[in-house]
């Protein structure tokens, strides 16, 4: 029996055809397929890198085109992710209202929508920005859809570690959009996001691990205890903060970025170790407060990349 076949009656789909739903509701549903809140985070890591690459204010038309291309590409990847995961989304509380689960969008519509966004975003990048950025964008999309969603997610507890590579690509795209080349600076920032992703996502996975366990997705908190997960979070956090400090000795950033990276990184490590201490004390439920680190992780990456954008003006 598949996950969709075992869902509670009435969870997936409704008696009303999607074509007969109000137009505004249908538009909202297609926008939801792109996961706009996640894309906001991706753009936060794209635009500041363009300022760093330019060592000042980049061409604003270029910024707009890069953001549009990035949104369409990531949106296409997210739509295809929802198409592939529609069976388990129907059984998880936090995904039970997604458009394919509620029946607001048909599976075939989501598939065509996702592929269309992938094609349009690649052409937009290639024809208006440059082809290096286009191939990087397409590579990120394919990695997220094929490697993460189709291969890793349901097979290994390291899914989010390697699957997170797709989320690292915007820093490379931001740099290449300005320079049409690569350098060590975007590589370092790629590694910052790579080591940031697991300790960012694992606290959320700890919170909703029953959801993942129900559908057989082996997220690390499902297959390991809270203490083991918290230890991994601390390990990745230390490496992430250490890597974030490499930009200044390499000559790409100055005192302002360094100060922000030290302060924000120090607070991150405090929160990570606090989570580990609570896990060691075998605290469970609301007292574990794992979401403190999840919410801080979003603030951390925002502060770090704003500092990257501001730093060239203070050097």
| Number of Cα atoms under 13 Å in the Cβ half of residue 244 | 29
pLDDT digits (tens, 9 = 90+) for 289-303: 999 999 999 999 999
CATH numbers and ranges of domains, the chain: 23-181 (1.10.357.140), 183-315 (1.20.120)
- The string over 147-166, giving b where at least 16 C-beta atoms fall within 10 Å of a residue's C-beta and e elsewhere, is bbbeebbeebbebbbbbbbb
pLDDT digits (tens, 9 = 90+) for 235-274: 999 999 999 999 999 999 999 999 999 999 999 999 999 9
What pLDDT score does 18 carry? 67
Q: Is 122 left (phi over 0), alpha (psi -120 to 50) or beta?
A: alpha
Angle in degrees, CA 238, 162, 177, rounded to 5: 90
pLDDT digits (tens, 9 = 90+) for 132-156: 999 999 999 999 999 999 999 999 9
Average pLDDT of the chain, as a whole number? 92
Confidence of residue 283 (pLDDT cuts 50, 70, 90): confident
d(CA 263, CA 289): 22
pLDDT digits (tens, 9 = 90+) for 85-108: 999 999 999 899 999 999 999 999
Query: Is the pTM above the cut of 0.85?
Result: yes
């Amino acid at each position: 029996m598949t996950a969709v076949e075992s869902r509670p009656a009435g969870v997936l789909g409704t008696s009303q055809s999607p074509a007969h739903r109000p137009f505004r509701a249908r538009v909202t549903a297609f926008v939801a397929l792109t996961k706009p809140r996640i894309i906001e985070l991706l753009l936060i890591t794209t635009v500041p890198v363009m300022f760093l690459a330019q060592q000042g204010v980049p061409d604003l038309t270029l910024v707009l085109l890069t953001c549009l291309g990035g949104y369409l590409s990531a949106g296409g990847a997210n739509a295809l992710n929802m198409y592939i995961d529609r069976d388990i989304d129907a059984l998880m509380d936090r995904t039970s209202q997604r458009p394919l689960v509620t029946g607001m969008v048909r599976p075939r519509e989501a598939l065509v929508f996702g592929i269309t966004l992938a094609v349009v975003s690649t052409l937009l990048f290639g024809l208006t920005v440059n082809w290096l950025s286009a191939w990087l964008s397409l590579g990120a999309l394919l990695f997220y859809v094929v490697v993460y969603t189709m291969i890793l997610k349901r097979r290994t507890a390291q899914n989010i570690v390697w699957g997170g590579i797709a989320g690292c690509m915007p820093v490379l795209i931001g740099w290449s959009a300005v320079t049409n080349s690569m350098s060590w600076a975007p590589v370092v920032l790629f590694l910052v996001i790579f080591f940031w992703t697991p300790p960012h996502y694992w606290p959320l996975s700890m919170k909703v691990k029953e959801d993942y366990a129900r559908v057989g997705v082996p997220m690390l908190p499902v297959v390991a205890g809270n203490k083991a997960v918290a230890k991994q979070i601390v390990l990745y956090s230390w490496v992430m903060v250490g890597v974030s400090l490499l930009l200044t000795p390499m000559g790409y950033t100055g005192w302002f970025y360094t100060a922000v990276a030290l302060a924000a990184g120090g607070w991150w490590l405090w929160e990570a170790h606090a989570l580990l201490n609570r896990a060691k004390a075998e605290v469970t439920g609301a007292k574990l407060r794992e979401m403190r680190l999840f919410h801080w992780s979003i603030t951390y990456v925002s502060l770090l990349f704003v500092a990257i954008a501001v730093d060239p003006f203070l050097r």
